[in-house]
């Protein structure tokens, strides 16, 4: 009989050795059991702590959404710019540019469109695009302007900005636009990088007034392949 097939009941001149075999086996089994329990614990806890991967919905905004639109607009504007501007200038911008009256007028403009990004019905970002006369500059009929693309800070880097951006591209293609353009504050490095990686190139600069502070926006454009 081959030594590997012996059991601990067998007699052998090297009994001690034979006894060690089952001991080692028990240790191996015990170790394997601990390991299995441990990995089961880890996999269980990983599942428990994994963020819920719920789908993001992009939905057109109507006048009924005015209040959540104002909320997400104010929240994201503050998150993005409060650290770089005086409280007075922030307050005056929020009061004028993001008032219920102003947002109502923009929602009613047939040359503008707004879209929410939602997760579990919670608004986590939004997009505003302009065509024709609603564009803040240029106003060329074959162009589409991305005026605002804002995502809640906790959702940056999670593809939400990209989904809103993709919606703008989809609409621009449906409308037969030749190019998309936008203005972005020259110090907003994250947004500039986001547009650059989507193929935008700088073509001009313009002034943007935040309260009494004049800031420089880079104007960027992307030619569309139709
Ligand atoms: C602009 C915005 C929609 C982009 O969405 P996002 O999910 O943050 O975009 P991504 O993470 O895919 O891309 C950001 C890029 O900037 C990079 N980045 C991050 N911080 C940066 C910084 N301080 N400087 C330069 N690049 C930076 C990221 O690494 C990433 O590039 P990569 O994919 O090559 O690594 C989002 O950041 C946002 O809502 N910002 C606040 C509002 C805003 O500024 N809107 C634009 C107004 S014009």
Query: Is the same domain home to 97 and 8?
Result: no
Is any atom of ligand 1 closer than 6 Å to the C-beta of 168? no
Q: What is the pLDDT of residue 22?
A: 45
| Number of domains comprising the chain | 2
Q: What's the CA gap between 23 and 57, in Å, rounded?
A: 59
Burial of 103 (0-12, 13-18, 19+ CB in 10 A): buried
What's the pTM? Answer: 0.80
Query: Is the same domain home to 23 and 71?
Result: no
Q: Which candidate in 93, 115, 150, 195 is catalytic? A: 195
Domain coverage including residue 27: 3-49
Q: What is the pLDDT of residue 211?
A: 85
Q: What's the CA gap between 168 and 200, in Å, rounded?
A: 14
Q: What is the pLDDT of residue 37?
A: 39
Could you tell me the CATH number of the domain that includes residue 165?
3.40.630.30
Query: Is the same domain home to 99 and 185?
Result: yes
The residue nearest atom 5 of ligand 1, judged by CA position, is 161
Query: Is the same domain home to 39 and 62?
Result: no
Is 195 part of the annotated catalytic residue set? yes
- Cβ-contact 116, 123 below 8 angstroms: yes
Is any atom of ligand 1 closer than 6 Å to the C-beta of 72? no
Query: Is the same domain home to 45 and 97?
Result: no
Query: Is the same domain home to 96 and 60?
Result: yes
The residue nearest atom 29 of ligand 1, judged by CA position, is 190
Is any atom of ligand 1 closer than 6 Å to the C-beta of 153? no
Is any atom of ligand 1 closer than 6 Å to the C-beta of 194? yes
Query: Is the same domain home to 43 and 119?
Result: no
Task: Specify the DSSP element, H or E, that contains 56.
Answer: strand 56-60
Residue that is written with structure tokens 């005086």 in the block = 86
Atom of ligand 1 lying closest to residue 184 CA: 48
Q: What is the pLDDT of residue 3?
A: 37
Query: Is the same domain home to 212 and 110?
Result: yes
Residues of the chain by 3-state class (helix, strand, coil), percent to 5: 50, 25, 25
Q: What is the pLDDT of residue 225?
A: 83
Residue that is written with structure tokens 């919905």 in the block = 57
Tens-digit pLDDT profile for the chain (226 aa)? Answer: 333 333 344 444 444 344 444 445 555 445 444 443 333 333 333 333 445 558 999 999 999 999 999 999 999 999 999 999 999 999 999 999 999 999 999 999 999 999 999 999 999 999 999 999 999 999 999 999 999 999 999 999 999 999 999 999 999 999 999 999 999 999 999 999 999 999 999 999 999 888 889 999 999 999 998 6
Query: Is the same domain home to 13 and 63?
Result: no
Q: What is the pLDDT of residue 99?
A: 97
Query: Is the same domain home to 130 and 218?
Result: yes
Query: Is the same domain home to 43 and 60?
Result: no
The residue nearest atom 4 of ligand 1, judged by CA position, is 161
DSSP 104-124: HHHHH-TTEEEEEEEETTEEE
**Residue 123's closest CA among 187, 56, 184?**
56
Is any atom of ligand 1 closer than 6 Å to the C-beta of 195? no
Query: Is the same domain home to 19 and 116?
Result: no
Tally Cβ neighbours within 10 Å of residue 151: 25
Cross-strand bridge partners of residue 103: none
Please tell me the distance between residue 10's alpha carbon and the centre of ligand 1 in angstroms. Answer: 71
């Amino acid at each position: 009989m081959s030594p590997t097939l012996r059991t601990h009941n067998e007699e052998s001149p090297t009994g001690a050795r034979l006894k060690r075999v089952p001991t080692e086996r028990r240790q191996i089994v015990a170790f394997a059991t601990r390991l299995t329990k441990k990995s089961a614990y880890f996999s269980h806890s990983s599942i428990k702590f994994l963020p819920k991967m719920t789908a993001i919905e992009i939905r057109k905004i109507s006048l009924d959404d005015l209040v959540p639109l104002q909320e997400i607009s104010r929240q994201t504007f503050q998150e993005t710019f409060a650290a770089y501007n005086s409280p007075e200038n922030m307050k005056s911008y929020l009061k004028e540019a993001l008032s219920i009256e102003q947002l109502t007028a923009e929602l009613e403009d047939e040359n503008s469109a707004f879209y929410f990004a939602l997760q579990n019905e919670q608004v986590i970002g939004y997009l505003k695009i302009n065509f024709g006369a609603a564009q803040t500059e240029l106003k060329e009929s074959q162009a589409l302007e991305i005026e605002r693309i804002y995502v809640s800070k906790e959702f940056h880097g999670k593809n939400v900005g990209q989904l809103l951006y993709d919606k703008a591209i989809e609409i621009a293609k449906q409308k037969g636009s030749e190019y998309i353009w936008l203005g972005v504050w020259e110090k907003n490095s994250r947004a500039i990088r986001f547009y650059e990686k989507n193929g935008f190139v700088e073509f001009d600069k313009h002034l943007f007034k935040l309260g009494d502070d004049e800031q420089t926006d880079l104007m960027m454009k992307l030619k569309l392949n139709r």
